[in-house]
């Protein structure tokens, strides 16, 4: 319909159809029509007031069978569609395209890499990684749906001071049986034990890197041994990695998240160092007296990019990884998804790449997300100072199970629990903090994942109970709630586009919620089964199911036929 309107305006205004299409809005209230076109941008070009332009356009445009009338108001052209024709078009289109409805067939297909999840070997995934995992996965799905080529990259923190610490602890205190039984737990115990020792000698206010105490130094020595390729140290490192990955994979399979590439940071050490050495030669990086290499910026603190003992640090690997990935993929965009506290790190990284002459720096983006608050709810299984991702998921699934029993309904507790967690995170804009509460996340009536799943199942039960075949036709006059639902369905392609342009899945989450609400209003106001136009109304229900399913799939949420 938007296309039709854009075409009509194009004929009468001389503007390009595509340009118009981007400007057309959906008015906030039905009194302002079904679509409206703001004339403000034409005003400058034509040197006339928007009101006058609107009036003139109104006179010129010949309405066809799809558009009933046009009104003008405060510089807008408001289009009132023929509701029957319009609705029938939408319903037929959805039922014809099914799960492909709303898919973009971008002519300018891009290659988009997303670096997300990226937990650290030897440490369990914590709640910060859950946001990265869920957010990154959703962004990837949205771009994929838009028709782009996507590459999901899991960049494991397999090297760094924490690895040095773990190797020290492993040699001193490993309990082999525990490692076999619960590798994640045993590695966490070792890590915490090391940190406790180290903390007693910690210098307040000094960054970890620069701590000069017996324990931190031991960890640094192990790191150096590892970089030199010491066999014994390498063997322990490998064992730690294997145990750790088992734990990560358990979480990924619970969340149903996959990657196209999983690579450890360590792989990029050499590449990073080589680039830095070159930059040093060209005078783009500077040498400290103690041998450390740094870069200075006009508007940011200086950044060390190589340690004085020659070993790599977090940014060394990132420099190498970015360059290698660009060589490999020639991406149009690469998006890093991490906690907002790494914002400076990425700003510096992008600036460094620019300074070193890598033009692809302009294709790099960072999404920094806020923190997750659990309020007063303390996890019974809280271990040490971290809240573990796996514990949160398991507890949510347990609670979903209780809820299913209480309500005597059907449904898959795993799917409901995972939906509850994913939705609770994704409905918030990435930058915002999330206040997580189980009660809220699992509420079947609120703005939650389970509510959306439940609404889908409710729609399905109408189709099941009726048993008749949906018919994509509208021959009756539509009630307000029916038309509003259909209009909401038609917004889906646009919403996907917005969320991809803004790198913001919360747009899809909010849309899903609004759509489900429109459906529930329809459900309460309009009889489907045994009504005069049963087949036609079933088609509306069926179309709703396709769109909600697609929309939720972009958030990584699965629906169920029954709940
Ligand atoms: N491993 C890091 C962490 O847990 C995140 C890595 C993000 N990706 C990157 N290319 N630096 O905080």
The closest-lying atom of ligand 1 relative to the alpha carbon of residue 322 is: 10
- pLDDT at residue number 203: 65
Name the 3-class secondary structure at 504: coil
- pLDDT at residue number 190: 94
Instruction: Phi first, then psi: give them for residue 467, nearest 5 degrees.
Output: 75, -10
Give the whole-angstrom CA distance, residue 496 versus residue 502: 10
The closest-lying atom of ligand 1 relative to the alpha carbon of residue 346 is: 11
Contacts 24+ apart (CB under 8 A), 292-299: 295/348, 295/351, 295/352, 295/355, 297/348, 297/351
Query: 275: CA distance to ligand 1 center in Å?
Result: 20
**Residue of 135, 342, 347, 349 to test ligand 1 pocket, by largest number of atoms within 8 Å of CB:** 342
Query: 114: CA distance to ligand 1 center in Å?
Result: 12
- pLDDT at residue number 389: 76
Q: Identify each DSSP E strand in 45-120 by its residue range.
A: 67-73, 76-81, 111-115
| H-run or E-run covering 261 | strand 261-264
Report the nearest-CA residue for atom 6 of ligand 1: 118
What's the token pair of residue 441? Answer: 């996340």
451, 442 contact by CB (below 8 A): no
Give the whole-angstrom CA distance, residue 471 versus residue 536: 5
Report the nearest-CA residue for atom 4 of ligand 1: 119
Going along the chain from its start, the domains and CATH numbers come out as 2-81 (3.30.1360.70), 260-369 (no CATH)
**Residue of 115, 117, 118 to test ligand 1 pocket, by largest number of atoms within 8 Å of CB:** 118
Neighbouring residues of 195: CB distance < 8 A, sequence distance ≥ 6: 165
Query: 61: CA distance to ligand 1 center in Å?
Result: 55
Q: Which residues line the pocket of ligand 1, CB cutoff 6 A? A: 115, 118-120, 155, 157, 318, 336, 338
Give the whole-angstrom CA distance, residue 155 versus residue 321: 9
- pLDDT at residue number 399: 87
With the C-alpha atoms ordered 329, 335, 339, 344, is the resulting torsion angle positive or negative?
A: positive
Give the whole-angstrom CA distance, residue 516 versus residue 552: 11
Residues in the chain: 563
The closest-lying atom of ligand 1 relative to the alpha carbon of residue 339 is: 12
Query: 348: CA distance to ligand 1 center in Å?
Result: 14
- pLDDT at residue number 381: 38
Query: 115: CA distance to ligand 1 center in Å?
Result: 8
144, 107 contact by CB (below 8 A): no
Report the nearest-CA residue for atom 10 of ligand 1: 318
Query: 157: CA distance to ligand 1 center in Å?
Result: 7
pTM of the model: 0.91
Give the whole-angstrom CA distance, residue 401 versus residue 561: 17
CA distances from 97 to 93, 107, 499 (A): 6, 19, 21
- pLDDT at residue number 379: 45
Query: 339: CA distance to ligand 1 center in Å?
Result: 9
- pLDDT at residue number 207: 65
| H-run or E-run covering 70 | strand 67-73
Query: 340: CA distance to ligand 1 center in Å?
Result: 11
Report the nearest-CA residue for atom 11 of ligand 1: 318
Give the whole-angstrom CA distance, residue 57 versus residue 23: 15
95, 470 contact by CB (below 8 A): yes
- pLDDT at residue number 213: 85
Query: 338: CA distance to ligand 1 center in Å?
Result: 7
Query: 450: CA distance to ligand 1 center in Å?
Result: 31
45, 11 contact by CB (below 8 A): no
Query: 366: CA distance to ligand 1 center in Å?
Result: 11
The closest-lying atom of ligand 1 relative to the alpha carbon of residue 157 is: 1
Give the whole-angstrom CA distance, residue 379 versus residue 383: 9
Give the whole-angstrom CA distance, residue 366 versus residue 338: 8
DSSP string, 312-376: B-HHHHHHHHHHHHHHHH--SEEEEEEEGGGHHHHHHHHHHHHHTT-GGGGGEEEEEE--EE-TT
CA distances from 318 to 135, 314, 344 (A): 21, 7, 13
Per-residue pLDDT tens digits for 404-462: 888 888 889 999 999 999 999 999 999 999 988 888 888 888 999 999 999 999 999 99
Q: Which residues pair with 383 in a beta bridge?
A: 386
- Residue ranges in the chain whose pLDDT is less than 70: 106, 201-211, 375-386
């Amino acid at each position: 319909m938007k296309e039709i309107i854009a075409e009509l305006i194009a004929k009468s205004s001389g503007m390009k159809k595509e340009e118009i299409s981007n400007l057309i809005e959906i008015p906030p209230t039905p009194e302002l029509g079904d679509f409206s076109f703001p004339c403000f941008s034409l005003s400058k070009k034509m040197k006339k007031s928007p009101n006058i332009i609107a009036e003139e356009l109104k006179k010129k445009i010949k309405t066809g069978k799809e558009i009933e009338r046009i009104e003008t108001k405060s510089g807008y052209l408001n289009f009132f569609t023929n509701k029957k024709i319009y609705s029938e078009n939408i319903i037929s289109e959805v039922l014809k395209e099914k799960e492909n409805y709303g898919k973009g067939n971008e002519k300018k297909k891009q290659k988009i890499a997303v670096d997300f999840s990226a937990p650290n070997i030897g440490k369990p995934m914590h709640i910060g990684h859950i946001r990265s995992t869920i957010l990154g996965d959703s962004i990837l799905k949205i771009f994929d749906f838009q028709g782009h080529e996507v590459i999901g990259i899991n960049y494991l923190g397999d090297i760094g001071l924490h690895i040095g610490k773990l190797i020290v602890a492993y040699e001193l205190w490993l309990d082999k049986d525990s490692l076999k039984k619960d590798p994640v737990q045993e590695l966490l115990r070792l890590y915490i034990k090391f940190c406790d020792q180290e903390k007693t000698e910690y210098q307040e206010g000094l960054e970890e890197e620069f701590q000069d105490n017996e324990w931190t130094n031991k960890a640094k020595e192990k790191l150096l041994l590892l970089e030199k390729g010491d066999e014994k140290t390498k063997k322990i490192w490998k064992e730690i990695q294997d145990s750790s990955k088992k734990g990560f994979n358990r979480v990924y399979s619970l969340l149903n998240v996959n990657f196209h590439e999983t690579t450890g940071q360590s792989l990029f050490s050499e590449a990073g160092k080589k680039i830095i050495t070159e930059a040093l030669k060209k005078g783009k990086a500077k040498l400290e007296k103690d041998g450390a290499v740094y870069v200075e910026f006009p508007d940011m603190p200086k950044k060390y990019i190589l340690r004085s003992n020659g070993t790599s640090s977090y940014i060394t690997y990132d420099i190498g990884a970015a360059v290698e990935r660009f060589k490999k993929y020639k991406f149009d965009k690469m998006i890093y998804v991490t906690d907002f506290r790494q914002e400076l790190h990425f700003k510096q990284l992008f600036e460094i790449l620019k300074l070193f002459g890598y033009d692809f720096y302009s294709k790099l983006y960072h999404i920094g997300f806020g923190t997750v608050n659990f309020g007063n709810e303390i996890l019974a299984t809280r271990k040490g100072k971290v809240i573990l991702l796996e514990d949160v998921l398991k507890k949510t699934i347990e609670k979903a199970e209780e809820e299913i029993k209480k309500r005597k309904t059907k449904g898959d507790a795993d799917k409901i629990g995972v939906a509850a967690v994913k939705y609770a995170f994704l409905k918030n804009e990435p930058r915002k903090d999330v206040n997580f509460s189980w009660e809220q996340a699992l509420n079947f009536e609120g703005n939650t994942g389970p509510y959306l799943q439940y609404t889908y199942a409710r729609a399905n039960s109408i189709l099941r109970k009726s048993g008749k075949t949906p018919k994509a036709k509208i021959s009756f006059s539509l009630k307000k709630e029916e038309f509003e639902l259909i209009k909401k369905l038609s917004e889906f392609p646009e919403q996907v586009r917005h969320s991809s342009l803004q790198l913001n899945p919360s747009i899809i989450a909010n849309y899903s919620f609004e759509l489900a609400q429109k459906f529930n209003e329809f459900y309460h106001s309009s009889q489907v089964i045994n009504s005069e136009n049963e087949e036609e109304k079933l088609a509306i229900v069926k179309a709703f199911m396709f769109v909600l399913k697609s929309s939720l799939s972009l958030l990584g949420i699965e629906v169920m036929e029954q709940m």
